[in-house]
A and B are shown apart, each in its own frame.
Chain A
Amino acid sequence: DARVTQTPRHKVTEMGQEVTMRCQPILGHNTVFWYRQTMMQGLELLAYFRNRAPLDDSGMPKDRFSAEMPDATLATLKIQPSEPRDSAVYFCASGLVLGSGGHTVYNEQFFGPGTRLTVL
């Protein structure tokens, strides 16, 4: 049963510390997304990759957040330094997007269980 995995599931850290979250997308999916969920803002897109290339990271604070995909089986989201306002649940999702332009076919996204981050 293919699924997206994320580690760690929970992380409590102090302000100023570095946090790294990891995601293993479903094998064969070509698009990986990072979302953040808070009660106030709901689910917000932070960054996404297609075929491991970063496509858009305009949703995340550039000065402290970075997202990478070192290989097809691993995506990382790093926060350095972390701040209390970064406390949220971070979700990774993967999916298959086929074609391009007007012939693009989008399919559903598969979400991981999330990393609950608390920054004190």
Chain B
Amino acid sequence: SQKIEQNSEALNIQEGKTATLTCNYTNYSPAYLQWYRQDPGRGPVFLLLIRENEKEKRKERLKVTFDTTLKQSLFHITASQPADSATYLCALTLGGSQGNLIFGKGTKLSVKP
């Protein structure tokens, strides 16, 4: 069956450390993989997009990797801050689709000062 799994429902880390979130998928062939951030009571906000032929993308303190052999994406936040506390969602866009996203259930990140 097809599924997207994010490694854990919750991740607690200390301020200043690197947070690493995992997204694994099964029986999908995504053309794109995206990461979104969602704060309580708000809609998801786009962070990064990586294409199937890309290995890594960076944006400021964020880095995402995409391994289509392992069917896995890793999302890193370096020098984490309490303001990074939120739920992070990975989402797949399938090739040939109309751009609709298939979401994982998210990982709730808490960064403690």
Contact = CB atoms under 8 A, between A and B. Distances in A.
B80 interface: no
Contacts of B95: 102
B98 A50 contact: yes
The A interface, classified by DSSP as helix, strand, loop or mixed, is strand
B interface bracket (residues with beta carbon within 8 Å of A): 20 to 34
B103 A42 contact: yes
Interface string A53-68: 0011000000000000
Contacts of B36: 111
A112 B43 contact: yes
B43 A114 contact: yes
A35 B89 CA distance: 14
Interface stretch (A11-19, A80-88, A93-101): A93-101
B46 A110 contact: yes
12 contacts: A42-B103, A45-B102, A91-B43, A102-B96, A104-B31, A106-B93, A108-B49, A109-B99, A112-B43, A114-B41, A114-B42, A114-B43
Contacts of B46: 108-110
